[in-house]
Structure 1
Amino acid sequence: MNAQDLKNSILQRAIEGKLVPQRKEEGTAKELLAEIRAEKARLVKEKKIRKSKPLPEITDEEKPFDIPENWEWVRLGDILLKLTDGTHHSPISFPYAEYMYVTAKNIKEWGIDTSNITYVDECTHNAIYSRCNPEKSDILLIKDGATTGVVTINNLDVPFSLLSSVALLKQTRLVYAPFIVYMLRSNILYKSIRGEMKGTGITRITLKQISPIVIPLPPLAEQRRIAAKIEELQPDIDAYDKAQTKLQAIEQRFPDDMKKSLLQYAIEGKLVPQRKEEGTAKDLLAKIRAEKARLVKEKKIKKSKPLPAITDDEKPFDIPDSWEWARFGDISINMDSERIPLSVTQRRKLDKIYDYYGASGIIDKVDQYLFDRPLMLIGEDGANLLARTKPIAFIARGKYWVNNHAHVIDFPNGIDMKYMTFYMNAINLAAYVTGTAQPKMNQARMNSILIAIPPLAEQHRIVAKLEELLPLCQHLTANP
């Protein structure tokens, strides 16, 4: 149950007479209705209100639930002194003039919002105000448009003009306005009002549809106690809403937080146990250096510039004794210079694809080079270098083109490409990125990234464990 459901449940209990106990000494709604009729007759005789047409008797079919014996079913119009609305003509409004001009956009549950109010001049106001005459504590109900059914109590001390999108409900002194507002906010009555909406462009309800609305009426003292009880419970509903919102945010973040935690545990050597028989990363790095030296000698790769030694201050976390810190450039092979040029036929096909789709922005023109084996691609620029809303590194397979916005990386024997992909997606790259409007990570900065290296067998076990656990995070995301 969410906060709105809880609020609806409380309001439903209120309109059924189940929120507060009935008290015999408070009389009956039948007696109250007799007093209301007498008051209205007196005001008609004094020519303070107009005599309204009799409303039809309430049938049993119109009563949606049982109410206490001392309550009565009534039509809304029977307990109002006046039911009207604002002007049906759109007067000229001003940023500022003598009188505020209230429309549906200004009606909020807590009252009238004057932050975006417009104004009308005195002449226009007098023409509208004389018919409508809204006073403090009158009920205002939106009857036009998407917010039809929103109801509030006039909280303004000053006179103002109304547009026809807002109905004015002026109740007798024998009816407690907050109680009527809560009744109209109850789910069953709100839906009843919305169900009466008609129209094509702007749907609305009319005053003739509002007046016959059937509501349950308790004695006046009980009306006040019901409203007071709802107001007493409101802080608890608000607290529940905040707690639920916070819980939902935690639940929504949980799969992603769990994924980040698993990746962080993996690169810190906490996801799988270390095994002595698997050797050390120190021995592994020696083999990697030897292999890269051989590849340079065989002219299969270019010799890279020596990278600076790693200081203790640079190390972001502790790692197991069998692991070693290394710079990314020392354990990787940059493949940018080894792109395979396209054939003339392939280049023409690619140009035709770009000419067809590129003009409309569907694709970007790519470098005309082709790779044909699994390699790791790392984005060179873009907001995702900092935002990290999606993986920054992934393994490309098959035959594929790569544009000049991605680093193309291979690894010598001794480095599991999947482990390195998980690692690059786990770490914060902010220290290696330049620019904020157009973030970029060039080759030199990428090569300087610190990598925590486990023995090769442990790399494989870490990858296997992540491939076992990460799908569970994805399942949680898909099935919250």
Structure 2
Amino acid sequence: MNAQDLKNSILQLAVQGRLVEQREEEGTAEKLYQQIKEEKSKLVREGKVKKSKNLPEITEDEISFDIPASWKWVRLGEVGETNIGLTYKPSSISNNGTIVLRSSNIYNGELVYDDIVKVEMSIPENKMCKSGDILICARNGSKRLVGKAAIIDKEGMSFGAFMAIYRSICNEYVLHVINSTYFRNALLPETGTTTINQITQDRLRNFVLPLPPLKEQKRIVAKIEELIPYVEKYDKAYSKVEELNKKFPEDMQKSILQYAIQGKLVEQLDEEGTAEELFQQIQEEKAKLIKEGKIKKTKALPVITEDEIPYDIPENWKWVRLGEIVSILGDGIHGTPVYDDKGDYYFINGNNLNDGKIEFKDNTKRVNEDQFIKHKRELNESTVLVSINGTIGNVAFYGGEKVVLGKSACYFNLIIEDFKYYLYWVIKTKYFLDYAFKKATGTTIKNVSLAAMKEVAIPLPPLEEQKRIVEKLEELLPYAKQLIK
């Protein structure tokens, strides 16, 4: 339940007579109703108000809920007066003159005077507000704004044609009724035309009001005013909890990944050897491939310094540079191939890489075999693709797809193919993404250089431990993803 739901519940309890207790000494709504009728008759006899048309009797179908025995169902027009506002010409608007209240002058149940219009013209008395009147937005292009209301706190103002006022001795209570879902559900579902939503005078007068005795009304208003500050506190707390709830699954996923690359997700087992041994195997295999002419010898990368190590790892792990464990690292073409709608190959970029897979979209361009041969890259089952331009950090494994790479996709072939599954998750971590964005150049479109990719420090576990880490991640992360959804 959010704060608005809580407020709606409080107002619903109020209009049903369930927010405060009933007291015999406070009389009945019937007695109040008769007093109001007598006062109205007196004002009619004195010529101070016009006699209004009798309103129809309330039927059983119009009664939405039970009310206390001391209450009475009445029509709003029986216990007060309503009126629509002033129509004026643009030529009447002036820096001086009479303030005309409009919808924009009601904000959060109160009157505001930041945006006022004044007119210089003769205004009939029935178009002038009195302090204590309820100002209601009766018509508006937005249905959401229709029905918003506030108590007028000054004399000498008028109100616009899209507004209505309600005047009675029950206004403080009636305002809360107007703010209730009962009022909105009763009047707004059937209001409005194709272009404008409205509460007509007739419907406002005929609205069925649950009327309590006057003293009980005052206690209801006091109780609502006592509770609203708690609702506001609840709103702040609820918003904070909602924010935490939204962040928690994502934070949990980040934490799990961080634990994984720090060697804290699974235990270390002596029988699985060390990352140093694995690293030496990689270097031996790399030297062999160079000797056989299958790959080119690359320039030695700088030794990893203490400043580059962001956290501690287990003793049997090792910090290595990405370029030290791959046979090749490059990117796609730095230009545009010749497209061919009937071609068998797809021209892909970083935005085609997602969750370990290469995705072909409706707008992915095609090229023919000649273009593929011209722009071919050495991709195989050990290839990992990473987006390094624009969107950074999308990852995919190459699975034999017929593709030509664009420059926003970096590719590298690992010396040991099985290493790619652990490396996939390293690239997904905050650690890697922070590094990539720190190294990225460009203002509008960020780009990570191939040199930066080669030099990123990777926390390397023994191969068997890598497999157990991946298994544990695949077990835990679906729970975090379910929470995100």
Normalised by the size of structure 1, how large is the TM-score? 0.86
For 1:168, which of 161, 165, 169 is the aligned residue? Answer: 165
Task: Please name the residue that 1:55 is paired with.
Answer: 55
Offset at residue 335 of structure 1 (A): 4.4
- The C-alpha deviation readout for 1:141-162, integer Å capped at 9, x for no partner, is 2222313553322345364443
Task: Please name the residue that 1:121 is paired with.
Answer: 119
Task: Please name the residue that 1:268 is paired with.
Answer: 262
Task: Please name the residue that 1:440 is paired with.
Answer: 447
SS in structure 2 at match of 1:447: helix
Which region of structure 1 is more displaced relative to structure 2, 146-155 or 421-430? 146-155
- The C-alpha deviation readout for 1:306-344, integer Å capped at 9, x for no partner, is 2222122221111000001111221223343799xxx99
For 1:143, which of 127, 135, 138 is the aligned residue? Answer: 138
The residue correspondences of 1:200-211 to structure 2 (distance < 5 A) are 200-211=194-205
- Return closer, same or farther for 1:409/1:95 CA change in 2, 3 Å cut-off: farther
* Aligned-partner Cα distance in 1 for 2:65–2:306: 75
Task: Please name the residue that 2:234 is paired with.
Answer: 240
Task: Please name the residue that 2:425 is paired with.
Answer: 422
Offset at residue 443 of structure 1 (A): 0.7
Offset at residue 222 of structure 1 (A): 0.8
- Return closer, same or farther for 1:397/1:96 CA change in 2, 3 Å cut-off: farther
SS in structure 2 at match of 1:11: helix
- Return closer, same or farther for 1:255/1:96 CA change in 2, 3 Å cut-off: farther
Offset at residue 94 of structure 1 (A): 6.1
- Return closer, same or farther for 1:348/1:217 CA change in 2, 3 Å cut-off: closer
- The C-alpha deviation readout for 1:24-73, integer Å capped at 9, x for no partner, is 22222222122212222233334332221111222333222222222211
Aligned 8 A contact 2:389 2:408 in 1? yes
* Aligned-partner Cα distance in 1 for 2:234–2:332: 60
* Aligned-partner Cα distance in 2 for 1:350–1:99: 74
Task: Please name the residue that 2:387 is paired with.
Answer: 379
* Aligned-partner Cα distance in 1 for 2:259–2:183: 54
Aligned 8 A contact 2:85 2:164 in 1? yes
Offset at residue 191 of structure 1 (A): 0.2
For 1:157, which of 154, 159, 166 is the aligned residue? Answer: 154
Aligned 8 A contact 1:142 1:166 in 2? yes
- Return closer, same or farther for 1:370/1:258 CA change in 2, 3 Å cut-off: farther
Aligned 8 A contact 1:149 1:190 in 2? no
Task: Please name the residue that 2:354 is paired with.
Answer: none
Task: Please name the residue that 1:29 is paired with.
Answer: 29
Aligned 8 A contact 2:100 2:119 in 1? no
Task: Please name the residue that 2:102 is paired with.
Answer: 103
* Aligned-partner Cα distance in 2 for 1:448–1:315: 12
SS in structure 2 at match of 1:258: helix
- Return closer, same or farther for 1:421/1:92 CA change in 2, 3 Å cut-off: farther
Which region of structure 1 is more displaced relative to structure 2, 419-428 or 104-113? 104-113
SS in structure 2 at match of 1:452: strand
* Aligned-partner Cα distance in 1 for 2:220–2:178: 14
Aligned 8 A contact 2:340 2:366 in 1? no
Aligned 8 A contact 2:134 2:152 in 1? no
Offset at residue 14 of structure 1 (A): 1.1
- The C-alpha deviation readout for 1:259-303, integer Å capped at 9, x for no partner, is 111111110001111110111111111222222222233332232
Structure with the higher strand share, 1 or 2 = 2
User: In structure 2, what residue type is equivalent to 1:110?
Assistant: G
Aligned 8 A contact 1:370 1:401 in 2? yes
Offset at residue 234 of structure 1 (A): 1.1
Task: Please name the residue that 1:193 is paired with.
Answer: 187
Aligned 8 A contact 1:93 1:101 in 2? no
For this pair of structures, how many residues does the alignment match? 455
- Return closer, same or farther for 1:158/1:416 CA change in 2, 3 Å cut-off: farther
- Runs of 5+ unmatched residues, structure 1: 355-360, 386-390
User: In structure 1, what residue type is equivalent to 2:452?
Assistant: R
Task: Please name the residue that 1:83 is paired with.
Answer: 82
Offset at residue 223 of structure 1 (A): 0.5
User: In structure 2, what residue type is equivalent to 1:456?
Assistant: L
Task: Please name the residue that 2:350 is paired with.
Answer: none
Aligned 8 A contact 1:16 1:66 in 2? yes
Offset at residue 194 of structure 1 (A): 0.8
The residue correspondences of 1:440-479 to structure 2 (distance < 5 A) are 440-478=447-485
Normalised by the size of structure 2, how large is the TM-score? 0.85
* Aligned-partner Cα distance in 1 for 2:216–2:23: 8
- Return closer, same or farther for 1:455/1:221 CA change in 2, 3 Å cut-off: same
Q: What is the identity percentage for the equivalent residue pairs of Structure 1 and Structure 2?
A: 37
* Aligned-partner Cα distance in 2 for 1:347–1:209: 66
Task: Please name the residue that 2:320 is paired with.
Answer: 326
Aligned 8 A contact 2:146 2:198 in 1? no
Offset at residue 415 of structure 1 (A): 5.9
Aligned 8 A contact 1:72 1:218 in 2? yes
- Return closer, same or farther for 1:436/1:27 CA change in 2, 3 Å cut-off: same
Which region of structure 1 is more displaced relative to structure 2, 442-451 or 33-42? 33-42
Aligned 8 A contact 2:346 2:366 in 1? no
- Return closer, same or farther for 1:91/1:365 CA change in 2, 3 Å cut-off: farther
SS in structure 1 at match of 2:129: coil
* Aligned-partner Cα distance in 1 for 2:252–2:89: 56
- Return closer, same or farther for 1:92/1:296 CA change in 2, 3 Å cut-off: farther
Aligned 8 A contact 2:331 2:407 in 1? no
Offset at residue 200 of structure 1 (A): 2.3
- RMSD value, Cα: 3.0
Aligned 8 A contact 1:280 1:455 in 2? yes
User: In structure 2, what residue type is equivalent to 1:470?
Assistant: L
* Aligned-partner Cα distance in 2 for 1:323–1:238: 52
SS in structure 2 at match of 1:195: coil
Offset at residue 101 of structure 1 (A): 3.9
Offset at residue 95 of structure 1 (A): 9.4
